[in-house]
Amino acid sequence: MTSTRAPELATLLVSCPDRRGIVAALAQLLYGHGANILDSDQHTDPIEQQFFQRIRFDLSELITDRGTLERALAEVAERFQMNYRLLYAARPKRVALFVSKYEHCLYDLLLRHRAGELSCEIPVIVSNHPDLERAAREFGIPFVVVENTAATRAAAESREHALLKEHDVDVVVLARYMQVLSADFISRWEGRIINIHHSFLPAFVGGRPYHQAYERGVKLIGATAHYATAVLDEGPIIEQDVVRASHRDSVEDLVRKGRDLEKFVLARALRWHINDRVLIYGNKTVVFD
Amino acid sequence: MTSTRAPELATLLVSCPDRRGIVAALAQLLYGHGANILDSDQHTDPIEQQFFQRIRFDLSELITDRGTLERALAEVAERFQMNYRLLYAARPKRVALFVSKYEHCLYDLLLRHRAGELSCEIPVIVSNHPDLERAAREFGIPFVVVENTAATRAAAESREHALLKEHDVDVVVLARYMQVLSADFISRWEGRIINIHHSFLPAFVGGRPYHQAYERGVKLIGATAHYATAVLDEGPIIEQDVVRASHRDSVEDLVRKGRDLEKFVLARALRWHINDRVLIYGNKTVVFD
Amino acid sequence: MTSTRAPELATLLVSCPDRRGIVAALAQLLYGHGANILDSDQHTDPIEQQFFQRIRFDLSELITDRGTLERALAEVAERFQMNYRLLYAARPKRVALFVSKYEHCLYDLLLRHRAGELSCEIPVIVSNHPDLERAAREFGIPFVVVENTAATRAAAESREHALLKEHDVDVVVLARYMQVLSADFISRWEGRIINIHHSFLPAFVGGRPYHQAYERGVKLIGATAHYATAVLDEGPIIEQDVVRASHRDSVEDLVRKGRDLEKFVLARALRWHINDRVLIYGNKTVVFD
Amino acid sequence: MTSTRAPELATLLVSCPDRRGIVAALAQLLYGHGANILDSDQHTDPIEQQFFQRIRFDLSELITDRGTLERALAEVAERFQMNYRLLYAARPKRVALFVSKYEHCLYDLLLRHRAGELSCEIPVIVSNHPDLERAAREFGIPFVVVENTAATRAAAESREHALLKEHDVDVVVLARYMQVLSADFISRWEGRIINIHHSFLPAFVGGRPYHQAYERGVKLIGATAHYATAVLDEGPIIEQDVVRASHRDSVEDLVRKGRDLEKFVLARALRWHINDRVLIYGNKTVVFD
């Protein structure tokens, strides 16, 4: 219900063992504090007996205050053994882009951000090459070169980690960042690094997937956005898409077609992540789109 | 939460003016009677200020009884000016198929039904031609020929209406039924007749849409499943899809490609309807898929 | 150019090492004998330096005769080291369907055949189970049960081979035939057995691909039609397609969605094969669609 | 066949009344002059009895010269009443982009151009607003503001026409240019102005198509690239595509989803045009893709 005050939106993401009464408990809790539910989506995994819910609500007519609401929520969460996150829209996510030499994903995200498609802040772009500095400058975003090779990885990642802290970053996007991250780095940012892989995973893991696709003679090529995990190309999948290919397509044609896929799939995955629509469980995702 | 008793599923479909507290009121009501919410989906139209919700729940551990629950629901509904439908899964929808000479949609629906994809009963097939009787017989479904021309329409529709009553039909599917229905017949079955139109509406309304598409040189052809209304091809759209076409496609090729679209789109629309996933408002639909 | 006589269509499929003058030689050859080219499509693989062409032409105004044309063609073929096939439309391909217990692909092909979408003959349906006999009978096609287990494979395949010879079969379609064929059987029918695999190959090779897809949490599921080779699921791919999946889809939902994919993809692959649009080279296909 | 000399590519586009011997005549002509056919595609419209062909060939080992080849071609063309265009790859098309305030199509084309996806030159960007000058400057392309209102149209178009002549422009792309062109301007550039319309034509012609789509409640939205003609939104369609929409999409969501469609569809249409893959006939196109 549209209120006369400016809305103060928040999102609650919940997962817990499935049992009776969860939906009612949360609805009652929010209503009791004067929060108005705008949108709610829910899923139960019947095999894992796991419950998931996303609730978006308006706090502008709260009859208590946020602290009270948060304490009440903590109590309900304990009762139902919930993992939960409560996110206030007034504090948009802060996204760091990691890039190398390819500009297509970087421009795509920056243009979408400028067009208002991505409700986030982009405080910093990190690259292991200086090539894309000009693009960053054009959009007025700090661009930091951190050289990163097998030999210098530890120092480089330490520098990157410090940069992310300094810029208060919530999520890292590997926008065709052509450098493997250490298991340690990934575990520190677990569930907060989104990578774009240029194949329809689990087909063509590893390097040069377009070459692999060409060799195998597939009739569709794909791209996959997923959370990075220690095992390369094995993380929870957020989004995938494909486009038709044929015998007429050279590897270069596949690369060209793939660029469009990579842009789309990565942008969609990031959009869902920053809108708090993605829940990880096990090695899968629930996407409330 | 999976109960030890056999589940007794029900679905509640609600639409009403948007206001604060609807979600909590329904969740509390169901929980208070011992109904367990399995799935809930919700939508608010911010322009029309209209609220929509679909809740699926299990009644097997109800602590009152259905009559009590229904009375309590009626009270809540009155308070919020709700339109609502409460549907028990134990009573699947009864679907009448209207056909003429084309067999593709008929076979598609009958095969899907036999494969368990469509949770409904199909007590009768009505046709204005005898051609498809054999298909009906093969699937063991009564087949009734009702000749229907402009001259005999009133009598024919009266006969059809009686058949639908006799077979306790909930929804009529026009599976490429090549006969215009009267406004009177349609209004008696308002929101309960699903038609498949062989174009991407609103492009190519009226007759011979594949010929129209060929003439216009479009690069995609489509199909549209919609609720029938008095104005031909103008009813609320449930589902649409398209497939690529090119200069190489003759009208016959478009017809062939279109058959697949028609089957898919109609089957998906029917599936959503019988699973109580579609709400009509104004000339649009909300599809909780 | 439409002739006044009834057209006598033929198709020439050619592959050879790429060199100058091939197109002109074939066009000149056909024109010189009075054959009228209706359609021609061509492809050069720049890496393998291999040339491929499909020419469809009308023989109704031939100024020599077929024997003369065939001898002239043999001469040109020798000059250019061509592999080629010359196929007369008056002799449609003869297709054997191998099935087990799933009816969806079988019905789909039989209904498409009856609708005139597949220009072939279907002289026999072979199954390792009696379940689908009724469907075969309904369409008036001989149905032969050949039990086939690991123990009886040699005898069974010998019987199958004899059946294919007896019915003068050109191509075998494994329409969800749930039995592994021996390398020997496959090599005797090399390039003439089309299989439908229920995943987007090379993802999820082997058994239970829908279960594998569910476990991995992919956001699209696929199907692949390919020529059978001795190495399971590794043959040349003819066609592939995908459909969206989500966390809401159980394995059963994936199976249901996959059935539609399997039908489509297999029907398209068969259609291209019987219309002489597919050329195999190495482990890939050229599809002149 | 790959030659040892650097290839000198050319494309021949032909349309003429269908008759016997066209393919052989052209193949013989090219071969006789030492041109090597790399690729050829052909189509016959059986209803209009019209023949279309696209031949790409290499002139690097021509045994005569271009003038001789062109004269021989003119003779063959006269014999068969051909319309034809002979295009040398060494002279890429020169494309003018017309824009207004939306940047998404402009950036998309400029980035694709920089990535080597579009084999053309972009000598000038014309706009009726100064807003996008910065983007043009970033890519180093002259940006000319030509104010254009109903009152000043004649003068403005005269200025635009002069600019196109001055920059030796071959094709004009209306990349969300929000200004109607006069019938006179269009007729001077007939078949050489590509427009992107933000709907699946012929649905939702005219203004505000996303609003129209929202009102109608369609389940897919589309975009259409077409050649501009005097009658708005009625020109020959080059390419179309769609994306799913639902009741959850506001007009703003449709606009956002549509931007991606517009970019893709326009880029694909332009790519085909500059690669000489599009033939207009009547109000349709043949696209040799």
SS3 B36: strand
How many angstroms away from the CA of C22 is the closest CA of chain D? 9
With beta carbons under 8 A apart, name residues in chain C contacting A43: 247-248
With beta carbons under 8 A apart, name residues in chain B contacting C104: 111, 115
- More confident of the two residues D102 and D206: D102
Check whether residue B135 and residue B193 sit in a common domain. Answer: yes
Stretch A58-82: mean pLDDT: 96
Contact yes or no for D220 and B222 at CB 8 A? yes
Q: How far is CA C117 from CA B105, C93, C272, in A?
A: 15, 14, 11
Check whether residue C177 and residue C131 sit in a common domain. Answer: yes
At B4 the pLDDT is 61
Q: Name the residue facing A264 among D117, D256, D260 (closest C-beta).
A: D260
Q: How far is CA C56 from CA B93, B283, C13, D120, in A?
A: 52, 50, 9, 35
Counted domains in chain C: 2
Stretch D161-173: mean pLDDT: 98
At A4 the pLDDT is 61
- Between CA B146 and CA C285 the distance in angstroms is 51
At A277 the pLDDT is 96
Residue D146 lies in a domain: yes
At A57 the pLDDT is 93
Residue B45 lies in a domain: yes
Residue D1 lies in a domain: no
Asked whether residue A151 carries a pLDDT value surpassing 90, the answer given is no
Check whether residue C141 and residue C155 sit in a common domain. Answer: yes
Structure tokens, C238: 């003819």
Check whether residue B176 and residue B267 sit in a common domain. Answer: yes
Contact yes or no for B43 and D247 at CB 8 A? yes
Check whether residue C100 and residue C183 sit in a common domain. Answer: yes
Active site residues of A: 233
Residue in C44, C99, C93 with CA at minimum distance from that of residue C281: C44
- Between CA D242 and CA B23 the distance in angstroms is 34
Residue B265 lies in a domain: yes
With beta carbons under 8 A apart, name residues in chain C contacting A285: 217, 247
Asked whether residue A173 carries a pLDDT value surpassing 80, the answer given is yes
Please give the mean pLDDT across all residues of chain D. 94
Rg (CA), chain D: 21
At A193 the pLDDT is 98
Asked whether residue B227 carries a pLDDT value surpassing 70, the answer given is yes
- Quote the percentage of chain B above a pLDDT of 90: 86
A90-131 pLDDT per residue, tens: 999 999 999 999 999 999 999 999 999 999 999 999 999 999
3-state secondary structure C33-83: CCCEEEEEEEEEECCCCEEEEEEEEECCCCCCCHHHHHHHHHHHHHHCCCE
Task: Please report, for the domain that includes residue C159, its CATH number.
Answer: 3.40.50.170
- Between CA B265 and CA B279 the distance in angstroms is 17
With beta carbons under 8 A apart, name residues in chain B contacting A41: 41-42
Interface partners of chain C (CB pairs < 8 Å, 3 or more) are A, B, D
At B7 the pLDDT is 86
Beta bridge partners of A46: none
Residue B191: DSSP 8-state:
T
Q: Are A18 and A82 in contact (CB under 8 A)?
A: no
Contact yes or no for B260 and C256 at CB 8 A? no
Q: Name the residue facing C104 among B115, B259, B260 (closest C-beta).
A: B115
Asked whether residue C2 carries a pLDDT value surpassing 80, the answer given is no
Asked whether residue A2 carries a pLDDT value surpassing 60, the answer given is no
At C4 the pLDDT is 61
At C141 the pLDDT is 98
B82-96 pLDDT per residue, tens: 999 999 999 999 999
Nearest CA in chain B to C245: B289
Q: Which of D18, D41, D45, D233 is catalytic?
A: D233
Check whether residue A102 and residue A78 sit in a common domain. Answer: no
- Quote the percentage of chain A above a pLDDT of 70: 99
At C232 the pLDDT is 83
pLDDT band at B3 (very low <50, low <70, confident <90, very high): very low
At A114 the pLDDT is 96
Structure tokens, B216: 């216009």
Q: Are C39 and D42 in contact (CB under 8 A)?
A: yes
Asked whether residue D220 carries a pLDDT value surpassing 60, the answer given is yes
Residue A288: DSSP 8-state:
-
At B183 the pLDDT is 94
Q: Name the residue facing B111 among C107, C256, C264 (closest C-beta).
A: C107
Asked whether residue D256 carries a pLDDT value surpassing 60, the answer given is yes
With beta carbons under 8 A apart, name residues in chain D contacting B220: 200, 222, 240-242
Rg (CA), chain B: 21
Check whether residue A113 and residue A75 sit in a common domain. Answer: no
pLDDT band at D105 (very low <50, low <70, confident <90, very high): very high
- Structural domain containing residue A13: 9-88
Contact yes or no for C27 and D30 at CB 8 A? no
Lowest pLDDT segment from A266-275, B198-207, C97-106, D108-117? B198-207
Structure tokens, B21: 């507290």
C150-185 pLDDT per residue, tens: 888 999 999 999 999 999 999 999 999 999 899 999
D264 in reach of chain A (CB within 8 A): yes
Check whether residue C59 and residue C101 sit in a common domain. Answer: no
Check whether residue B217 and residue B99 sit in a common domain. Answer: yes
Helix axes D251-274, D104-114, angle to 10 degrees: 40
D19 in reach of chain C (CB within 8 A): yes
Amino acid at B137: R
Could you report the predicted ipTM of this complex, rounded to two decimals? 0.93
Q: Are D196 and D175 in contact (CB under 8 A)?
A: yes
Residue C209: DSSP 8-state:
H
- Between CA A169 and CA D69 the distance in angstroms is 65
Rg (CA), chain C: 21
With beta carbons under 8 A apart, name residues in chain C contacting B138: 138
Please give the mean pLDDT across all residues of chain B. 94
Residue C2 lies in a domain: no
At D232 the pLDDT is 83
Q: How many CB pairs under 8 A join A and B?
A: 65
Check whether residue D35 and residue D152 sit in a common domain. Answer: no
- Between CA B204 and CA D203 the distance in angstroms is 8
Asked whether residue B280 carries a pLDDT value surpassing 80, the answer given is yes
Check whether residue A184 and residue A145 sit in a common domain. Answer: yes
Nearest CA in chain A to B19: A1
Task: Please report, for the domain that includes residue D58, its CATH number.
Answer: 3.30.70.260
Last residue of some domain: D28, D56, D88? Answer: D88
Buried b (16+ CB within 10 A) or exposed e, A273-284: bbbbbbbbbebb
Residue C3 lies in a domain: no
Beta bridge partners of D12: D55, D86
D residues 175..214 contacting B (CB < 8 A): 200-204
How many angstroms away from the CA of D276 is the closest CA of chain B? 16
D131 in reach of chain A (CB within 8 A): no
* Residue A206, phi-psi category: left (phi > 0), alpha (psi -120 to 50), beta (remainder): left
- Between CA D189 and CA A115 the distance in angstroms is 32
pLDDT band at B155 (very low <50, low <70, confident <90, very high): very high
At C120 the pLDDT is 98
Please give the mean pLDDT across all residues of chain A. 94
Asked whether residue D221 carries a pLDDT value surpassing 60, the answer given is yes
Stretch D245-260: mean pLDDT: 96
SS3 C280: strand
Nearest CA in chain A to C241: A220
Q: How many CB pairs under 8 A join A and C?
A: 84
Q: Strand A93-99 relative to strand A171-174: parallel, antiparallel, unpaired?
A: parallel
Asked whether residue C1 carries a pLDDT value surpassing 60, the answer given is no
Asked whether residue A1 carries a pLDDT value surpassing 50, the answer given is no
Stretch B204-215: mean pLDDT: 93
Residue in A266, A178, A257, A248 with CA at minimum distance from that of residue A221: A257
B48-84 pLDDT per residue, tens: 999 999 999 999 999 999 999 999 999 999 999 999 9
Beta bridge partners of A54: A13, A41
Last residue of some domain: B88, B122, B154? Answer: B88
pLDDT band at A3 (very low <50, low <70, confident <90, very high): very low
Stretch A45-72: mean pLDDT: 94
Indicate which of C52, C220, C246 best probes the interface with A, i.e. most A CBs within 10 Å of its own CB.
C220
Contact yes or no for C222 and A218 at CB 8 A? no
Residue B181 lies in a domain: yes
Q: Name the residue facing A36 among B20, B27, B32 (closest C-beta).
A: B20
With beta carbons under 8 A apart, name residues in chain B contacting D242: 200, 220, 242
Asked whether residue B2 carries a pLDDT value surpassing 80, the answer given is no
Stretch D221-249: mean pLDDT: 95
At A35 the pLDDT is 94
How many angstroms away from the CA of A222 is the closest CA of chain C? 10
Residue in B287, B270, B269 with CA at minimum distance from that of residue B278: B287
Residue A2 lies in a domain: no
How many angstroms away from the CA of A213 is the closest CA of chain C? 9
Contact yes or no for D284 and B217 at CB 8 A? yes
Check whether residue C43 and residue C180 sit in a common domain. Answer: no
Last residue of some domain: B38, B56, B88? Answer: B88
**pTM for this one?**
0.95
